[in-house]
Every structure is written in C-alpha cells, then in structure tokens.
Amino acid sequence: MYIKTERLEIKPITDKDRDNVIAILTDDIVKQTYMVPDFETKEAAEKLFIRLKDLSHSDSFYQVGVFLNDELIGIANEVGREENGIELGYAFLPAFHNKGYGTEMLNALTFQLFADGFEKVLTGAFEENLSSIRVMEKCGMQRLEKTETIEYRGKCHTCVYYEKKRIKLQTKDLIIKQAEQKDWKDMYYNLWCHAESAKYMLWNVTTSEEEAQIRMEKTIRFEQTHPYAWIVYEKSSGQAIGFAGMTEIEPGVYEDTGVALGPNFVGKGYGKQILNAMVEYAKTQLRAKKMVLSARSQNIASKKVQEACGFTYSHSEDRVDPRTNEPYVVEFTYKNL
C-alpha cells in the first residue's frame, strides 16, 4: 500500500525504520492508550518490529508506517474484520501529537479501505483518550453504542467505538459510491476513452489501459479530500459506467462537480436518477438548503435533465475551455431544498 496525502506518506515499513518503530512501542505515553506489552529485552522489541515490518509487506493484512519527510512518525494496523468492515488501531510518536497528523492519516486510510472494498471502518479508544476520540470525530466517524471493558496494565478501561460507513446512494437502476481500483477497466472502456462523453466537460480522453489505471489511482486520491465524489455503477451489469459528485460552496449550498455517463448508458433515465439521488442525499444527510447545477449552453440533454428534476435557471457565465482555448457559455440552475 502506498498513499500520499498533503503532508504524509503511508507505506510499508523497512529496516531503516527500526529505531522509530521501537520508540513508539516502548514510549511510556504511547503505552498508556496503545496496547503493547512491556519488553524485558531489546531483542524482544526487535522481534516485534520484524513482525510488524513483515506484515506491512503482506497483501492479506493492513499494517503501515506513517511518514513525514521520509521519517516514520506513526504506525497503523488492522485489529480485526467483521461483516465487510475492518477495525484499525494506530499510534504516533508523542512529538507529533496534536498536529493533525492522526486525522490526516485516518481519513486517507479510511478512503483507501473503501477503495479496497470495505463497507465500513471502525476504530476504538479508551474513554479517557480524548485526543484519539477527537481524531475519529474529525474524520466523520459516528460513535456506536458498543462499549467494552478491557483490563490493561492493572486497570479497567472502558473502550468506546466509532465507525464510518462508505457512502452509498441507490436508485432503481444504479449504485453511486466511492471508486474501487478494480473498476479502472470498466471506466476506461465505458467512459474515459470516449471523446463524445468529454465534449461538454473539462476532462481529457484516456488513451490506454495503463493511463486508465493511473487515472483510477488519482480518482481514489481525489476522493480522500472530496468525500462527495463518486463512481456510478449499473445494478444490472455491475459495471462502473460514469461518475458524479458535488461540493459545498458555502454553508448549506452544494454545487455539482460534474456528472458523466458513457455513451452506451445515456437515454435510459440514469441522469435523472443520479441527480435526484444527489439532491435527496444533500437534503437529508447534509442538511443542504440549496443545490446548484451548471451545464454548457450547448448541452441540451443535461439542461433537460435539470429541468425535469425541478431546477430553475439562475444566470450564465462566459468561460474558456482550457483544452482548446475556445469560448463557451455556462448556464447555472438552482433548486431550494
């Protein structure tokens, strides 16, 4: 696994990280809340380091190092799996606490796990570990009713649990959710290689399978910081057939970031289903008050979908296509929710 965030790299552990990993495992502050044994000898600590290093190179277990400027500052690992979900644990060197690194790591790792097919990510913390609980909350995790009493270092602790579920919108014919790397081929052949699909948008056509795989990797990284960017799947075929998304442009107001379907999937009412699903999610889950859409003036099909979904014309703006330097007009519509 390799993930690049704004400040961090999340990747396998190597021999050069030995001292920092052992420093985490033996730090008195870390040991208050991250459950590790006391090591009677240096060799025992090194044995655990080797185990963690080996696991970080495994394809069947999630164990990673968290790096800042190529220096290991933290570790994260899976604790267990259940019902399409995975539980994570993590620890950082105390010098790097309260700097936002935990939030940055957990958010990125969560979206990678969604991309790997997990439907939910869980984390747990001792009830008194308020800093870790804040990390979970900042990542949009919700506290569960589940608690557990754990005896650790001669004291009973109440462990509380938090969970984040993968966003999944469903319509009659579609599933709309975060991307998975395995869907790069569907996206390439169904959408990204078709010039007619990009005609009224600002993305470039993908010209090879190799480019498509890289594009999907970039899509997944984009979703780490844009949680309402999704891939569209057709239920009947199970294929990835397009994308959709929105972003908050001011409190309570959301604007679409583009909706596209491959040429073999237009004219089936899918555009209307996507738009209505996004509106419903924005209204009920995000408490949005208004939704804003846009389309090029020549994009008659898109404008008809917006009208059918109850959107009203607002205004137009002149733009220039950065791919061709040709001018065009964008028309904006809105709907109060």
Give the model confidence (pLDDT) of 68-98 as tens digits: 999 999 999 999 998 889 999 999 999 999 9
Return the pLDDT at 83.
82
Return the pLDDT at 298.
95
Return the pLDDT at 221.
87
Return the pLDDT at 115.
86
Residues paired with residue 243 on neighbouring β-strands, in sequence order: 231, 260
Residue 316 phi, psi (nearest 5) = -125, 155
By percentage, how much of the chain surpasses pLDDT 70?
100
Residue 332 confidence (pLDDT) above 90: yes
CA 245: distance to chain centroid? 13
Domain coordinates of the chain in residue numbers?
Answer: 3-165, 168-336
Thinking of the domain 3-165, which architecture would CATH place it in? 3-Layer(aba) Sandwich (3.40)
Cβ–Cβ < 8 Å for 79, 55: no
Average pLDDT over residues 106-132: 92
Q: How confident is the model at residue 200 (pLDDT cuts 50, 70, 90)?
A: very high
pTM over 0.85: no
Return the pLDDT at 225.
83
Residue 289 confidence (pLDDT) above 90: yes
Average pLDDT over residues 230-255: 96
Return the pLDDT at 1.
87
Digit-coded pLDDT (tens) for 157-177: 999 999 999 899 999 999 999
CATH number of 168-336: 3.40.630.30
Average pLDDT over residues 289-314: 96
Digit-coded pLDDT (tens) for 201-224: 999 999 999 999 999 999 998 888
Q: What is the mean pLDDT of the chain?
A: 94
Return the pLDDT at 117.
87
Separation of alpha carbons 143 and 81, rounded Å: 18
Residue 41 confidence (pLDDT) above 90: no
- Domains 3-165 and 168-336 equal at CATH topology level: yes
Residue 42 confidence (pLDDT) above 90: no
Return the pLDDT at 91.
95
